[in-house]
Amino acid sequence: MQNLTAPALAEWLADKSRAAPVLLDVREPWEVTTAHIAGSVSIPMREIPARSEELEDDAQIVCVCHHGARSAQVAMFLESRGYQHVFNLQGGIDAWSRQVDASVPTY
C-alpha cells in the first residue's frame, strides 16, 4: 500500500493522459452523503470482505475514509487479497476538503 496526499490525488485526477483510479470510499453512507469526492464508489468498510470481488483485479484503487485510518486498513486487506495497485488517501476526505476542494464540507 502506498500513501497518497490529497494534492497528489488531485493532480492524478486532473491528468487526462493517465487512467483515473477507482476512488473507493469506505465510510458509512451518512458520511458519504455529508461529503464525498465526485465519482467515488461507496462500499462501507464492514462490507469490503463480501464485496471486494466487485473491484477489478488490475484496477488502481485509492481508498478514502474520514482521516485515513479505516482506508489504510481496507487498503492492506485488499493487498492481502492480491490487489497490487492500492493507495490510501492520507488524511482522508478531511485532507481533501482542507487542501484541495473547500466546497466539500468538513465534519
Q: Does 65 participate in catalysis according to the annotation?
A: yes
Among 22, 35, 64, 65, the active-site one is 65
Residues in CB range of 91: below 8 A, 6 or more apart: 5, 6, 67, 68, 98, 99
Cα 66–chain centre separation:
10
Catalytic (active-site) positions: 65
